[in-house]
């Protein structure tokens, strides 16, 4: 039985792509181990739920332990990461700035594998090191890390290091994958190597949802791990505040008090009760929460480049749940909506007045809303569900492990 190691840097409940990958490969008969970092007790509880009956095992660099020796190790790692980040403006870039590189490298190197699949920044760096040691590596470019994040955050990231790592993986990995055709083509044009396999960030097809609308008044829905800047929420709410048709907005994710107040301040006082902030829920509960709404918001910005090129799991969750989709005109989202005609609207966030008009035209036409929801669900069943994506992953792994492959 071929052994697969999936290397990530956080809990599976916050990395659904790695979880789906492990589940699909374990179900296909591979011996799968997921190696990651455990650093937040709440998320480890969610992971324990996910692992019940899962066809793979998980091992971790445990940073939730309260033992004095473990706490000392964690403190030392945080100190090294802090120093490494302070050195970046001086031109000194190290993977230590991204987390416990030595501990995770040791865990990965000590886990036997015929193929190691790396996700996220720190595992990308470790993947290159393991490739130098003769390991067979594959890389999933769910994000284009060296071309991601807001400018204020990028200043403390080892961008040149990440770019070198990405180039090495594109040229030397057994295979690479990306969530959209737009990102796959851009990565190949930038770094060379083979064009990544396109594996959309889809989810298992859930039970057929009820017809739209489902809420009175109709409900917009947006979710992420964090409700924060650079997500398109401010311009959307500025447009929504001008709409005339009744509706409500639900935002799900962790949010600071100051940012909650900032968003609430964009909405007229009389409508603030229609803007709801929902807490993070477990991955198992999320599809049901989404399916209670009517219109899914995919408000990705045109910058940074990674956000423009990708197709995030939001869009695919909305299609699965039969929500109408309101999306911004990024390359990745245009790609998806072109393949699922009639499922939603492409809107600009540049001017609140035209945005309000587009939203009102949808809110005021329940029949059209229902047709969009039906088209979304049909598109998920036809193409954009994990049942369609998983065979692409299994085929890529099987080819990478082929005896005839060098």
pLDDT in tens, 237-251: 999 999 999 999 999
Q: Check: CATH 3.40.50.2000 for 219-382?
A: yes
Both structure tokens of 108 = 């990965």
Average pLDDT over residues 284-303: 93
Helix (H) or strand (E) holding 196: none
Q: Across 157-304, where does the E strand assignment appear? A: 175-178, 197-198, 219-226, 248-254, 275-278, 295-298
Confidence bin at 125 (pLDDT 50/70/90): very high
Please enumerate in sequence order all residues whose Cβ is within 8 A of that of 329, keeping only pairs 6 or more positions apart, or say none: 346, 347, 348
With CA atoms as reference, report the closest residue to 379 among 346, 345, 342, 347.
Answer: 342
The CATH architecture to which 3-202+386-400 belongs is: 3-Layer(aba) Sandwich (3.40)
Q: Which of 350, 306, 360, 358 is nearest to 332 (CA)?
A: 306
User: pLDDT value at position 282?
Assistant: 82
**Would you say residue 405 has pLDDT above 80?**
no
pTM of the model: 0.90
The encoded tokens of residue 163 equal 């770019």
User: Among 29-33, 65-69, 270-274, 322-326, whose mean pLDDT is lowest?
Assistant: 65-69
Categorize the per-residue pLDDT at 1 as very low, low, confident or very high, splitting at 50, 70 and 90. confident
For the segment 358-374, the average pLDDT, to the nearest whole number, is: 96
pLDDT at 77: 86
For residue 406, name the pLDDT band (cuts at 50, 70, 90): low
Domains 3-202+386-400 and 219-382 share a fold: yes
- 31 pLDDT band, cuts 50/70/90, is very high
Domain extents in the chain: 3-202+386-400, 219-382
**Do residues 263 and 222 lie in contact, with contact meaning Cβ atoms separated by under 8 Å?**
no
Q: What is the tens place of the pLDDT at every residue in 203-215?
A: 999 999 999 999 9
């Amino acid at each position: 039985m071929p052994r697969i190691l999936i290397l990530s840097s956080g809990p599976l409940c916050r990395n659904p792509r790695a979880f789906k990958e492990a589940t699909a490969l374990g179900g296909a008969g591979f011996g799968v181990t997921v190696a990651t970092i455990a650093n937040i007790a709440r998320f480890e509880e969610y992971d324990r739920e996910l692992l019940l009956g899962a066809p793979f095992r998980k091992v971790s660099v445990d940073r939730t332990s309260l033992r004095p020796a473990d706490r000392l190790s964690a403190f030392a790692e945080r100190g090294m990461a802090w120093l490494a980040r302070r050195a970046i403006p001086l031109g000194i870039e190290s993977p230590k700035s991204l987390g416990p590189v030595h501990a995770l490298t040791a865990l990965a190197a000590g886990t036997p594998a015929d193929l190691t699949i790396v996700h996220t920044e720190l595992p990308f760096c470790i993947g290159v090191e393991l490739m130098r040691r003769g390991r067979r590596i594959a890389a999933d470019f769910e994000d284009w890390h060296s071309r991601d994040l807001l400018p204020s955050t990028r200043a403390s990231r080892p961008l040149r290091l990440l770019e070198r790592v990405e180039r090495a993986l594109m040229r030397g990995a057994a295979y690479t994958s990306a969530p959209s055709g737009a990102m796959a083509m851009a990565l190949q044009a930038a770094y060379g190597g083979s064009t990544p396999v396109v594996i959309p960030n889809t989810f298992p097809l859930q039970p057929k949802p009820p017809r739209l609308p489902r809420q009175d008044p109709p409900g917009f829905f947006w979710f992420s791990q964090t409700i924060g800047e650079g997500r398109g929420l401010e311009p959307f709410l500025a447009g929504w505040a001008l709409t005339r048709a009744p509706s409500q907005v639900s935002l799900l994710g962790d949010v600071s008090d100051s940012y909650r107040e900032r968003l609430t301040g964009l909405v007229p006082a009389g409508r603030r009760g229609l803007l709801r902030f929902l807490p993070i829920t477990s991955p198992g509960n999320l599809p049901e929460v989404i399916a209670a709404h009517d219109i899914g918001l995919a408000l990705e910005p045109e910058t940074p480049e990674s956000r423009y090129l990708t197709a995030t799991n939001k869009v695919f969750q909305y299609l699965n749940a039969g929500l109408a989709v309101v999306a911004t005109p990024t390359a990745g989202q245009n790609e998806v909506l072109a393949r699922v005609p009639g499922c939603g609207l492409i809107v600009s966030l540049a001017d609140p007045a035209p945005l309000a008009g587009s939203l009102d035209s949808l809110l005021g036409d329940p029949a059209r809303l229902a047709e969009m929801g039906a088209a979304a669900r049909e598109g998920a069943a036809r193409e954009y569900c994990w049942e369609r994506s998983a065979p692409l992953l299994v085929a890529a792994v099987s080819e990478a492990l082929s005896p005839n492959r060098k």
